[in-house]
Chain A
């Protein structure tokens, strides 16, 4: 589904991501695990091509992603950022921001379905500014899923929430990924979260892959 090949990123002479290889199969919840500053989020940005690799590349459905127009690539490989970063407006306007930017028609039924799945029934017309942290993060997830991506990149999506809200977001996310057979790449530094959500993955330290395999393989000390 998606694979990284010798992926590197250097910034101001510093190596942020160092020769990373991995392959994600359809339906995987692939975990990128590691401590803060290991280069996990930087790697995720490379996968969405928000940053340009210094060398190496990514293949999506066997196609070099440099050959895919960026807007199409980012629909195929969606990203949920660490902070929800919602725009001013209603929940529905946030969920449909992607298609509205592209000038595409909006399907209100799809919005409501996604909100129902994420435990936000009846939230469509609420103002984004009035939401709690957990609700805002679920809207951010719905916003990415609205594009029907092949792969979803999740950058510690519950890390800024309190324990209860984080657990609720994780449960809903896990259910949605299973129901919609979504392939996901999850960045986390939380061992328990990685174990609950992930199937396999890599462990990163100082920009390099130090372990790869099943969740147990990458988490065991």
Chain B
């Protein structure tokens, strides 16, 4: 990244709108301080945790704002590098849900990479995501983050399914059942359970909650109907990437937990 990128960022940081933003932060902080004080008065013993979370959230989001400020000036190819980095991070975080499952890191990387990757590439090709860093990075990160959450849920549920149905699985194998047929119900339940949050989000979309992108676009003066349509596109991308990730992850795991001699492996955290 060049010096001009940082010079551009410095110029942006001095714009009057940033000062307005800081004043708004001060107002919001007063409210938060009041809540922390209330917690102290009620001896909830939460003031330290609340205070740290508040400061940490502020630092993280401003750092992200600065980073995006820099990113807006870099060439398009950088977005691929950034998104790949995000896939790596997402793999690292979601794999912890599947501690003890064989090949969990490799499977998570592949599932999130392929699930989110296909959706991002196809939607960029179709024009739903603008082929600019400004659009690719934030929208891509949403798709990847949701694929990560869904992968984590799938790993967690798959391990639980294997643990709680070990006896049935082994009976199926002992009867000469092909492992994939014996594990089909476990895979189905894992995929289904991991997609419950995103399916519920789709069901409640618009009447229980107005998601961030739509709210942000309306606040920024965008046509509300277009904002609604674009929000739906985002939700559909999250659903598609999550569904793909969960299916790939559960299917690969169902192969990995079975040995070459068609035995169910021990899963130890």
Is B16's beta carbon under 8 Å from chain A?
A: no
CB-CB < 8 A to A87: which residues of B?
168
Is B175's beta carbon under 8 Å from chain A?
A: yes
Residues of B217-262 at the interface with A, using a CB-CB cut-off of 8 Å, are: 259, 261-262
Partner of A97 from B170, B175, B261 at Cβ < 8 Å = B175
Is B174's beta carbon under 8 Å from chain A?
A: yes
Is A49's beta carbon under 8 Å from chain B?
A: yes
Tell whether, in the assembled complex, residue B262 and residue A147 are in contact, meaning their CB atoms are under 8 Å apart.
no
| Interface magnitude class on chain B | 10 to 19
Q: How far is the CB of A136 from chain B (nearest CB, A)?
A: 12
- Chain A positions 62 through 89: 1 when the CB is less than 8 Å from some CB of chain B, otherwise 0: 0000100011111100110101010100
Q: How far is the CB of A151 from chain B (nearest CB, A)?
A: 13
- Complex alpha-carbon distance, A101 and B176, angstroms: 8
Is A52's beta carbon under 8 Å from chain B?
A: yes
CB-CB < 8 A to B175: which residues of A?
74-75, 78, 97-98, 101, 143-144, 147
CB-CB < 8 A to B174: which residues of A?
48, 50, 74, 78-79, 81
Tell whether, in the assembled complex, residue A71 and residue B262 are in contact, meaning their CB atoms are under 8 Å apart.
yes
Task: Using known A-B contacts A97-B177, A98-B177, A147-B176, determine if residue A81 contacts B171 with beta carbons closer than 8 Å.
Answer: yes
Tell whether, in the assembled complex, residue B181 and residue A70 are in contact, meaning their CB atoms are under 8 Å apart.
no
Is A105's beta carbon under 8 Å from chain B?
A: no
- Complex alpha-carbon distance, A110 and B177, angstroms: 19
Q: How far is the CB of B188 from chain A (nearest CB, A)?
A: 14
Is A51's beta carbon under 8 Å from chain B?
A: yes
Q: How far is the CB of B261 from chain A (nearest CB, A)?
A: 6
Tell whether, in the assembled complex, residue A50 and residue B167 are in contact, meaning their CB atoms are under 8 Å apart.
no
Residues of B160-188 at the interface with A, using a CB-CB cut-off of 8 Å, are: 167-168, 170-178, 181-182
Residue of B nearest to A83 (CB): B167
Q: How far is the CB of A5 from chain B (nearest CB, A)?
A: 17
Residue of A nearest to B260 (CB): A70
Instruction: Give residues in A with beta carbon < 8 Å to B.
Output: 48-52, 66, 70-75, 78-79, 81, 83, 85, 87, 97-98, 101-103, 143-144, 147
21 pairs across A/B with beta carbons < 8 Å?
A48-B174, A50-B170, A50-B264, A52-B259, A52-B263, A70-B263, A71-B176, A71-B178, A71-B262, A72-B176, A74-B174, A74-B175, A81-B174, A97-B171, A98-B176, A101-B176, A101-B178, A101-B181, A101-B182, A103-B181, A147-B175
